[in-house]
Amino acid sequence: MMKDKFLHQLHSVTNVKIAKLVFVMTSSTNSVLPWPYTDKCPSVGTLPQTDSSTLPALFRPLKIRSLTLKNRLAVSPMCMYSSQNGFLNDWHLVHLGQFAVGGAALVIQEATAVQPNGRISPYDAGLWMDEQMEMTKRIVQFIHSQNCAAGIQLAHAGRKASMKAPFHQTPGDRSQPAYVTKEEGGWPDDVVAPRGTFENRVRLLLELISLVRQTWPLTKPLSVRLSCDEWVGSEGWTMDDTLRLIPQLIELGVDIVDTSSGGNSSSQQLPLPLKPGYQVSFSEAIKKSEYGIKIMTAPVGLIVEAKQANDIVEQEYGDLVLMAREYLRDPHFPLKAAKELGVKELAWPPQYQRAK
């Protein structure tokens, strides 16, 4: 089947968050343009042959099994709520493609539902039909043409499914999510958050990772996205639970932990006002633990400046940096970061050289 062939072609990283998977295909320098990239006309993000240890940490390559990222800057998956019946369109091509043109090393497509009723909203991206892969393939080919790895977050929203897109809610009333009713095809309103023992809470995640590794070759990296702390105190998942989970992830062959938090309970008490890098401490705790040398981490959350991102890698709080909203404000953030950090020889897209 076409879908089987597609899955066999995936070649880099798989990211799991309970019921969410992210597959990342290795980058390719084969240009979709009418001319090839060369040493004299390199693709964006290319640096001359040099001792990488002399570079700012943010621009040192990162090898993860068979995948080598050209720098430590990655784009987190961001829901666009712009798909019709799960199909991607030109919006997604331009949205995701701009980050590859801007010099990111890895671009991850938004949460993409594996079933129609597993979408967060009716406008989520989907991958439950072979036909839905055509636009994804086109987007991936373009991202690869910019010497950038492409990812897709396969997802099932579970009890958090059946919500309306945030910009389709009543203006000025976004304090509570607007749900699609059962009569409109949504989930029943009596579905509650899972609770129970540590073993029960991690069981699904561990089973998913085990199943993925049965198919995903050992040459390909595997990443897990965790809500490291639910911000509900001892009644919920805490950082202590995360540290308890880490050795089990390592044993199953996980290479990277994407350290997020919250999002699982309406009772969460975030440390307001949120400060830049407020989730970096989760990544740092893993790196400083006895397991820190055995697994990579990728912090995320209000990382907005080049020096801030570089310090995270330089001080070994994380191995790569995931950013989202800052890329919406500046899709070419890596190019700006290179300039601010003194990486003058970083290649811009040839088409944009006159602006450098």
No. of helices (H) and no. of strands (E), the chain: 9, 12
DSSP 296-343: EEEEBSS---HHHHHHHHHTTS-SSEEESHHHHH-TTHHHHHHHHTT-
Band (171; pLDDT cuts 50, 70, 90):
low
Q: What is the residue type of 243? A: L
Band (28; pLDDT cuts 50, 70, 90):
low
Place of tokens 């811009």: 348
From residue 137, alpha-carbon distances to 9, 96, 121, 129 in Å are 11, 13, 23, 14
Q: Encode 299-323: b = buried (16+ Cβ within 10 Å), e = exposed.
A: bbbbbeebebbbbbbeeebbbbbbb
Band (212; pLDDT cuts 50, 70, 90):
confident
Q: Contact at 8 Å (CB) between 63 and 88?
A: no
- As a CATH number, domain 16-355 is 3.20.20.70
Decide if pLDDT at 186 tops 70.
no
Q: Contact at 8 Å (CB) between 307 and 316?
A: no
Q: What is the mean pLDDT of residues 105-130?
A: 93
**3-state secondary structure at position 240:** helix
Q: pTM (2 decimals)?
A: 0.86
pLDDT in tens, 219-275: 988 888 899 999 999 888 999 999 999 999 999 999 999 999 998 888 899 999 999
Q: Contact at 8 Å (CB) between 319 and 293?
A: no
Q: What is the mean pLDDT of residues 309-323?
A: 97
Measured in whole angstroms, how far is the alpha carbon of residue 46 from the centre of its chain? 22
Band (291; pLDDT cuts 50, 70, 90):
very high
Residue-range domain boundaries for the chain: 16-355
pLDDT score of 44: 96
Q: What is the residue type of 186? A: G
Give Cβ neighbours of residue 236 (< 8 Å, ≥ 6 apart): 230, 264, 265
Nearest to 150 by CA among 22, 309, 259: 22
Q: Which residue has the higher pLDDT, 175 or 204?
A: 204
For residue 22, the 8-state DSSP code is E
Q: Contact at 8 Å (CB) between 323 and 303?
A: yes
From residue 162, alpha-carbon distances to 17, 21, 61, 319 in Å are 19, 19, 40, 35
pLDDT score of 196: 80
β-pairing, 20-25 with 67-69? Answer: unpaired
**3-state secondary structure at position 163:** strand
**What is the distance between the alpha carbons of residues 274 and 253, in angstroms, rounded to a whole number?**
33
Decide if pLDDT at 172 tops 60.
no
pLDDT in tens, 46-72: 998 878 889 999 999 999 999 999 999
Band (164; pLDDT cuts 50, 70, 90):
confident
β-pairing, 321-323 with 13-17? Answer: unpaired
Place of tokens 């990382």: 303
Supply the angle between the helices 306-314 and 333-340 in degrees, to the nearest 10: 80
**Average per-residue pLDDT for the chain:** 86
Kind plus residue range of the DSSP H or E element containing 257? strand 256-260
**Bond prior to 273 in cis (omega within 30° of 0):** yes
